[in-house]
Amino acid sequence: MNLSSIYQSKHELWVKILFSSFAINDEKIKNSIYEFAMIEFRHLKWLSNHLKENRISYNYEKYAIDIEKKTNFEYFEYIINEIKLCVKNYNPEEAIFARMISDEFYFISTLERLLKNEKNNSEIIAFNKNRTYEDKDLDCISRDALTIFLFEESYKEYELILLYSYFQNYTDDILQYNIYQDMIDESQFHLKSFGNMMAKMGILAIPRTVIEQLYINKDIKKFLIDGVDEEIKAKEECANLANAIEDDEISKFLTCVMYQENYHIELMQKAINRLENS
C-alpha cells in the first residue's frame, strides 16, 4: 500500500475510533477511547507532514463507514480489528510507523482488557433514532431544529478540522500555524460535544466526505473571509436555537458555543491580516 492510501486508512481509523467513543455511554470508557482517537489524530498530523516532506499528495477521501454497533464489546472488537488491519500496511522500519505501532499496541491491549470484564459491556442507544435528549421535554419544533443543527454543525466541525489541518501542514508561517492549531482544537471540542449530543438523541452519524475542491489549491484568504461570514451566521444560529429550546442546560451550552465563535472570528481576522501583509 502506498503512503497516500495509508493516509486514507489512518484518516478512516481516526474517524472510526472517534465516533465509537461518541457512541459509548460509559463516561470512563468513552473518555479512554476518545483519547485514543486524539492520538490517532496526531498520527495523522505526523503522516501528513511526512507526505509533504516527501512531496506526496494526499486527500480526505474516505470509504463509507458503518459505525453502527449494538454493544460496547462490539465496538472494542471492531476497533481492535480495524487497528490490526491498518498496522498491516505500515513499514515498521520507518520511525514514524514504529511510533504509531507502539501507541496502537497499547490501544489493543487496553481494549482486550476491557473485553475481559462483562461489566464493561452495555447496550448502545446512539442509533435508535429516538430523538429524546436525556429527560428533557423538547417539543417537536425544538427537536427538529436541534436535529438539523447537530447534523449541520457536526459536519462543519469535521470539515474545519480537516481544512485547517491541511492549511497548517502547508504553511511555513508560525503565526498562521498556531492560529490553525487553535481553530483545530476548538473544532475538536465542538465535534466532541455535538457527537455526544447526537449519540444521546440516537442520531449519531459519520460526517460525509469533505470534497477536495474545498482544500486543494484553495485561496486561503478568501476561505477565511467567507469563514468570518459563516461564523457570524453560526453565532446567529446558536442564539436562535438557544432561544427556541426552552432548556437551560442546552441553551447555556449553545450560548457558550456562540461566544466561542467571537474568538474564532478574531483568530480568522488575525490570519487574514497576516496573509495580507506577507
Partner 1 sequence: MKNELTKEQLEQDPEIERVSAEVLEHMMNPRNYGKMEDSDGIGMGVDEKTGEFAMVYIKVDDNILSNITFGCNACQDTVVSGSLFTEMVKGDTLENAVSALKLMGEKILTAPKKQQACSNMILTAFRAAIINRDNNIAGMNEEMFTIDMKESCEGININESK
Question: Which residues are near partner 1 by CB under 8 A?
Answer: 61, 64, 127, 129, 131, 137, 139-145, 147-148, 151-152, 203-205, 208-209, 211, 213-214, 226, 246
Q: What is 200-261 written as a DSSP string?
A: HTT---PPPPPPGGGTTT--HHHHHHHHHHHHHHHHHHHHHHHHHS--HHHHHHHHHHHHHH
Q: Which lies closer to partner 1 via its Cβ, residue 175 or residue 211? A: 211
- Residue 9 to residue 16: CA distance in whole angstroms: 10
Q: Output the nine-digit C-alpha cell for 64.
A: 463509507
Q: In whole angstroms, give the CA distance from residue 202 to residue 132.
A: 8
Cβ proximity to partner 1, 90 vs 127, nearer residue: 127
**Cα separation of 196 and 201, whole Å?**
9
Backbone dihedral region for residue 152 (phi beyond 0: left; psi -120 to 50: alpha; all else: beta): alpha
**Grid coordinates given for 82:** 480495524
In angstroms, give the least distance from the CB of 148 to partner 1: 6
Q: How far is the CB of 103 from partner 1 (least distance, A)?
A: 29
Instruction: Choose between 146 and 183: whose C-beta lies nearer to partner 1.
Output: 146
Q: Minimal distance in Å, beta carbon 223 to partner 1? A: 10
Q: How far is the CB of 213 from partner 1 (least distance, A)?
A: 7
CB of 254 to partner 1, least distance (A): 17
Supply the minimum distance, in Å, between the C-beta of residue 202 and partner 1.
10
Q: Between 43 and 235, whose beta carbon lies closer to partner 1?
A: 235
Residue 25 φ/ψ, nearest 5 degrees: -80, -45
Shortest gap between Cβ of 61 and partner 1 (angstroms)? 7
Comparison of 18 and 204: residue with beta carbon closer to partner 1: 204
Which residues make Cβ contacts (< 8 Å) with residue 265, sequence separation at least 6? 228, 231, 232
Residue 123 pairs in a beta bridge with 71
Contact 58, 4 (CB under 8 A): yes
Query: CB-wise, 95 or 211, nearer to partner 1?
Result: 211
Packing angle of the helix pair 27-53, 3-23 (nearest 10 deg): 160
Q: Which is nearer to partner 1, 80 or 250 (CB)?
A: 250
